[in-house]
A and B are shown apart, each in its own frame.
Chain A
Amino acid sequence: MQTINFGIDLGTTNSLIARFTGVQAEVFKNPVGLKETLPSCVAFRKERIWVGDKAREWLQKDPLNVFSSFKRKMGTSETYSVPSRQETISPINLSALVLKELKNFVHTGDIPEQVVITIPASFDTVQSNATKQAGLDAGFREVVLLQEPIAASLAYFNKYTTEKESGKWLVYDLGGGTFDVALIGIENNEMRVLDHQGNNYLGGVDFDHSLVMEVLVPEIIRQTGFMDLANQLLTHKARYEKLYYVLLLKAEEAKKELTTRLSTEIEVTFETDEGDELDLLITVEREQFNAVIRGRIDDTIDMLETIMSRNNLSTDAISEIVLIGGSTYIPYVRATLAERTGLPVNTDADPTTAVAIGAAYFAGNTPARQAARSESGPTDSVSAIQIQTGYNKTTKDLEEYISASASGMDEGLFYRITRTDGGFDTTLRPLTSRFGEFVGLLPNRVNTFTISVYDGYNNPVPVRVEPITITHGLFSLYGQPLPEDICIEVDDLMNNATRCELIFSRNSVLPLTKTIYREISRTIRKNSDESLIINLLEGDATQHPSTNKNIGVIEVRATDLPADLIKGSDVELKIDMSESRDVSVSLHLSMTDQQIDEVFSPTQRYVSLSKLRDEIQELRGQLDSDLQKALQNEEYETAAQLQELTDRARILYEQARQIQPDTLTDEKYQLDEAKRKLARQLYTTGPVSNRVIRTKERYYDLMESLQNWAETLQELPPKQREEIRQLKANEPEAMRGNNYFRVEGQYAQCRRIYHNTVLYTPTLLAYFFHIYAGLLPHEFTDYQRAQAEIKRGEKALDRQNYDELRGVFLNLLGLARNTEVIETKIKGTGLS
């Protein structure tokens, strides 16, 4: 059975659309701004029609061309004159525009063709038919109406076939601008509205206005002595009119805050006619707000009681009061309702979305009479439209013109251009063979725009058009893309090495600024011989720091510290690179509150002699380790290459050691160049490339096992399964080329995941435990302890205690000779 599934709350103030997904109802959000609600407001501005928030912006300024609350006029003969278009429009037309706009919220690609639309309990047949007509005018092929209090009740009772089999309850609906209360009952399995009462001019916006006029304005007058403020606020005198809007927005915020707090503060700044700037702080207590709304809430409860007395109902006959509408979040409303009626107040559902959700539940259980067309149904008759665009791909302006020509289209279609971040929207415009728009751009980034085409019912029409990307800020007079990455060197404590951390990536456009926060990686004692080194480098950030060019170094010696720099204390580094590539580094040490500023000019290259020596020494250590491994593996050709590099490193170190710190020659720069050349040879070519190939082989072996386990072992924990998937996804990038660090990094990740997978998968843990238990005595550093662990492990296995077995297995790993790791500590930078 095909069901309707889509439900719409076509409200007086706000509208929503929701869909039943088979299990629950989902409320769609506006792709612009991601709000669930669309203000039921339409503005006709020159050639554009705005629906929703944008329309509401013009409500005060252009009231003749902006329409809201037209739901109250549904089913009347009243029409509205639109001066900007010199035409008249009916409430049905306006409602249809709101309904069409709601279709845009549906992000799933579905085109809603059948829909449930809610109507107030007070709507008569003519008004109901008018709502149905609005739905049909909006392009829905089938419209089913549902009364709002019934919809809300369904949302509360959470399903269409309600658990309630009989009884009566009240639905109290206090929204942004209207109030309704309805008595609902179930008789003979049928849920019906038995009575209702309402006020079309009572809601949250009235509370905001009252809070401004009754609390904020008197307090401002008290603090400033500006007696005529109330009158000035409501005039069109710009200064005070602006203040009124500010106060109104702040009052709305305060109202929301007072739902959870007993008091809140409002800050108000404004300039008087005399040019004095006043800065006021106003405390608003919840009690004050309650006093402001008390009279109106009493009126709503009077209406509720009228319904009860009119139907000869005592409180015993009513099971509960169900709340809907955003204003029912107000604690005073809830408390007063409970106190005055003595009835339980049900707040289980979200009062803002309850009607739409209830409509969707109902839609999900209502068969569609009209079979849905195929997805492309409404557009079958429309051949694919082709749109060619022309525009500047790069610009320095904050607006750019897009010109377009369309072919293959029918009459009566509309286009809409939106920016993908949601910050620009042309709204619907008639599609002609040639059209153009100025589009707003976000500065210093790539702006992507989409052109969509719609039919008269706001259903999408297939269109062939390339995405539009306009880059703002590139290629200015001085601006130029960076030829290489800019990075800093940080300690890699896991691998006992240092690594590059990217600051600005290659091809970023100058000028650039970035602030990063790091921690001190080891305590630097005041007056010791240690130092904190900020080493700024230029070159591939994925490579080892020693392969990159040095731009500048800030060395903070322990002798310059007023106190110890404790491990873990914060370091703030602000790096600016100007259009002419001057690099300013601002270093702030939070522990000692020291600020160090340096500017490195591209015409000067700073080389720290002590750093240079450390780096050569580190290279020697790496070469020596590689050489030993090559000899062990009888790779004599590689060993010969490594021996040559080792000899060169030794000579370099000797040269570096002999240079005097205050030398005036450029020898240290030559040595720095020679060191980088050596590092590049070590890490990117020659013997290391063989090592990269071997690492890749090991990686693929491990990865094969991991994938095999993921496919065959049901018990594999979800976390490990996800990590394996992620690792595989990163593989193409990491394994591209022979980048030593990328490949090693991927392999290290793989090993970590492999180990964790073994540790947390019982079958694998047992399997590997047996392998280690079967090692020969000489393969353990302490065979006696190993035997004890093996016995413990076997018992744990018998009891299927895998937590204990995991501990035993880790102990065995520690005792096995071939997992021993001999570490040599690097000196590093002191920055992690």
Chain B
Amino acid sequence: MQPLIDIANQVHALEKKAQKEGHSGSGYLRPIQRIRQALAELGITFHNPEGERYTETRTDVEASVAGESMDNLTITQVIKPIVSQNGQIVQAGIVIVESV
């Protein structure tokens, strides 16, 4: 199980990197998408919650809260994605949240 979660984490990192370096929509994302699909066939899916609203009842992420304001908390950085196996969360996302 852990090796599959590790693969999901690395694919997430690759996706972020490809997007950041302006390779969205190019051939870079195709093999990444393929790995995503292969993982899905093994029951492993992962989700990048960046930009989503954060509330303390969210147990799908472990958050580090940056800044002093506690209003309108939003996930601004994702260190590790939320990983699920057959619909059950097996790794909470590791995220930074901030007031925006």
Q: Which residues of A contact B (CB under 8 A)?
A: 32-34, 45, 48, 50, 53-54, 56-58, 60-61, 236, 238, 241-242, 245-246, 248-250, 269, 398, 420-427, 438-440, 515-517, 572, 588
Interface contact B66-A421, CB-CB below 8 Å = no
A60–B70 CA distance with the chains assembled, in angstroms: 12
Chain B residues lying within 8 Å of A426, measured Cβ to Cβ, are 57
Q: A238-B98, A242-B76, A246-B79 are in contact. Are A424 and B59 (CB under 8 A)?
A: yes
Q: By the criterion CB–CB under 8 Å, are B67 and A236 in contact?
A: yes
Beta-carbon contact of B82 and A54 below 8 Å: no
Residue contacts A-B, CB under 8 angstroms, 18 given: A33-B59, A33-B89, A33-B90, A54-B56, A54-B59, A60-B64, A61-B65, A245-B96, A246-B96, A249-B94, A422-B60, A422-B89, A423-B82, A424-B60, A427-B57, A515-B33, A515-B37, A572-B34
In the complex, what residues of B have CB within 8 A of residue A241's CB? 66-67
Instruction: Give bound CA distance, A572 to B89, whole Å.
Output: 29
How far, in angstroms, from A61 to B68 measured CA to CA in the complex? 8
CB distance from B76 to the nearest CB of A (A): 7
A32 to B62, CA, bound (A): 11
CB distance from A603 to the nearest CB of B (A): 28
Task: Provide the residues of chain B in CB contact with A398, threshold 8 Å.
Answer: 53
Indicate if B3 sits at the interface (CB-CB under 8 A).
no
Within 8 A of A (CB), among B42-72: 53, 55-60, 62-68, 70
**Among candidates B33, B59, B79, residue contacting A249 with C-beta atoms closer than 8 Å:** B79
Q: What 10 additional pairs, Cβ within 8 angstroms, besides A45-B56, A424-B58?
A: A57-B56, A57-B65, A60-B64, A241-B67, A242-B76, A242-B98, A421-B88, A422-B60, A439-B57, A515-B33
Smallest beta-carbon distance A401→chain B, Å: 13
Contact A48 B62, beta carbon cutoff 8 Å: no
What is the distance, in angstroms, from A155's C-beta to the closest C-beta of chain B? 21
Which of A45, A250, A422 contacts B59 (CB under 8 A)?
A422
User: Which residue of chain A lies nearest to B38 when distances are taken between CB atoms in the complex?
Assistant: A517
B23 at interface, CB cutoff 8 A: no
Chain A residues whose C-beta falls within 8 Å of the C-beta of B30 in the assembled complex: 572, 588
Partner of B60, one of A238, A242, A423: A423
A249 CA to B56 CA, complexed, in Å: 20
The 8 closest A-B pairs by CB, nearest first: A423-B60, A238-B67, A242-B66, A245-B64, A422-B89, A425-B59, A33-B92, A32-B59
- Beyond A424-B58, A440-B57, whether A32 also contacts B89 by CB under 8 A is yes
Cα–Cα, bound, A246→B66 (Å) = 10
B87 sits at the interface (CB 8 A): yes
User: Which residues of chain A are near B87, meaning CB under 8 Å?
Assistant: 420-421
A57 surroundings in chain B (CB, below 8 A)? 56, 62-65
Residues of chain B within 8 A of A236, CB atoms compared: 67-68
Q: Is the CB of B55 within 8 A of A58?
A: no
Find the B residue at minimum CB distance from A53: B62
Complex Cα–Cα for A242 and B48 (A): 18
- Which B residues contact A (CB, under 8 angstroms)? 20, 30, 33-34, 37, 53, 55-60, 62-68, 70, 76-77, 79, 82, 84, 87-92, 94, 96, 98
Query: A106 vs B30: C-alpha distance in the bound complex, in angstroms?
Result: 42
A-chain residues with CB within 8 Å of residue B65 when the two chains form the complex: 57-58, 60-61
CB-CB nearest in chain A for B60: A423
Which residues in B have their C-beta under 8 angstroms from that of A439?
57
B66: chain A residues at CB < 8 Å are 238, 241-242, 245
Inter-chain contact A61/B62, CB cutoff 8 Å: no
B58 and A517 contact, CB distance less than 8 A: no
Which B residues are CB-close (under 8 A) to A440?
A: 55, 57-58
Taken together as a complex, chains A and B put the C-alpha atoms of A425 and B98 apart, in Å, by 21
Q: What distance in Å separates the Cβ of A575 from its nearest Cβ neighbour in chain B?
A: 13
User: A425 and B77: CB pair below 8 A?
Assistant: no
Cα distance, A776 to B68, chains bound together (Å) = 92
Q: Specify which chain B residues have a CB less than 8 angstroms from the CB of A572 in the assembled complex.
A: 30, 34
Closest A residue to B17 by CB, please name it: A267
Which A residues touch B34, using CB under 8 A? 517, 572
A54 CA / B56 CA spacing, docked (Å):
7
Q: What's the Cα separation between A238 and B92 when bound, in Å?
A: 24
Is B56 a contact partner of A423 (Cβ separation < 8 A)?
no
**A421 / chain B contacts, CB cutoff of 8 Å:** 60, 84, 87-89
List of B residues within 8 angstroms of A60 by Cβ: 64-65
Contact yes or no, A34 B90, CB < 8 A: yes
| A residues in contact with B90, CB < 8 Å | 33-34
Contacts of A238 in B (CB 8 A): 66-68, 98
Complex Cα–Cα for A422 and B59 (A): 7
Give the distance in Å from the alpha carbon of A68 to the alpha carbon of B55 in the complex: 22
Q: Is the CB of A61 within 8 A of B70?
A: yes
- With a 10 A CB-CB cut-off, give which of A34, A242, A423, A439 has the most chain B CB atoms: A423
* Most B C-beta atoms less than 10 A away, residue of A398, A422, A427: A422
Point out the residues of chain B lying under 8 angstroms from A438, CB to CB. Answer: 57
By a CB distance below 8 angstroms, the chain A residues around B98 are: 238, 242
Decide yes or no: A242 and B56 within 8 Å by CB, A33-B92, A421-B84, A421-B88 being known contacts. no
> B5 → chain A, closest Cβ, in Å?
10
Complex contacts, A33 vs chain B, CB 8 Å: 59, 62, 89-92
Please measure, in the bound complex, the distance between the C-alpha atom of A238 and the C-alpha atom of B74, giving whole angstroms: 13
Beta-carbon nearest neighbor of A52 in chain B: B59
Distance in Å from the Cβ of B11 to the closest Cβ of chain A? 15
From known contacts A60-B65, A421-B87, infer whether A242 and B59 are also in contact, taking CB-CB under 8 Å: no
A53 — which chain B residues lie within 8 A by C-beta? Answer: 59, 62, 92
Q: Tell me how far the C-beta of A448 lies from the nearest C-beta in chain B, rounded to whole angstroms.
A: 10
Q: Which residues of A contact B55 (CB under 8 A)?
A: 440
Least CB distance, A27 to chain B, in whole angstroms? 15
- Report the Cα distance A250→B77, complex, angstroms: 13
Task: Point out the residues of chain B lying under 8 angstroms from A269, CB to CB.
Answer: 20
Q: Which residue, of B58, B76, B92, B98, has the highest number of chain A Cβ atoms within 10 A? A: B92
Report the nearest A residue to B89, measured CB to CB.
A422
| Bound CA span A246–B97, Å | 11
Complex CA distance for A50 and B57, rounded to whole angstroms = 10
**Shortest CB distance A501–B (Å):** 14
- Please state if A242 and B96 are interface contacts (CB–CB under 8 Å): yes
Q: Which residues of chain A are within 8 angstroms of B53 by Cβ–Cβ distance?
A: 398
Closest A residue to B82 using CB positions:
A423
Q: Smallest CB–CB gap between A232 and chain B, Å?
A: 13
**Chain B residue with the shortest CB-CB distance to A398:** B53
Residues of chain B within 8 A (CB-CB) of A423 are 58-60, 82, 89
Question: What CA separation (Å) do A269 and B79 show in the bound complex?
Answer: 11
Bound-state CA distance A438–B64 (Å) is: 23
- A236 and B70 alpha carbons, distance in the complex (Å): 13
Docked pose: A427 CA to B66 CA in angstroms: 24
Give the shortest distance, in Å, between B97 (CB) and chain A (any CB). Answer: 9
Q: How far apart sit A235 and B87, CA to CA, in the bound complex (Å)?
A: 39
A250, B90: Cα distance in complex, Å: 20
By beta carbon, the residue of chain A nearest B21 is: A279
Give Cα A19–Cα B68 distance, bound, in whole angstroms.
43
- Report how far A45 CA is from B94 CA in the complex, Å: 21
CB of B40, distance to nearest CB on chain A (Å):
10
A48 to B64, CA, bound (A): 19
Docked CA distance A788–B40 (Å): 52
A34 to B85, CA, bound (A): 11
Query: CA of A45 to CA of B65 in the docked complex: distance in angstroms?
Result: 15
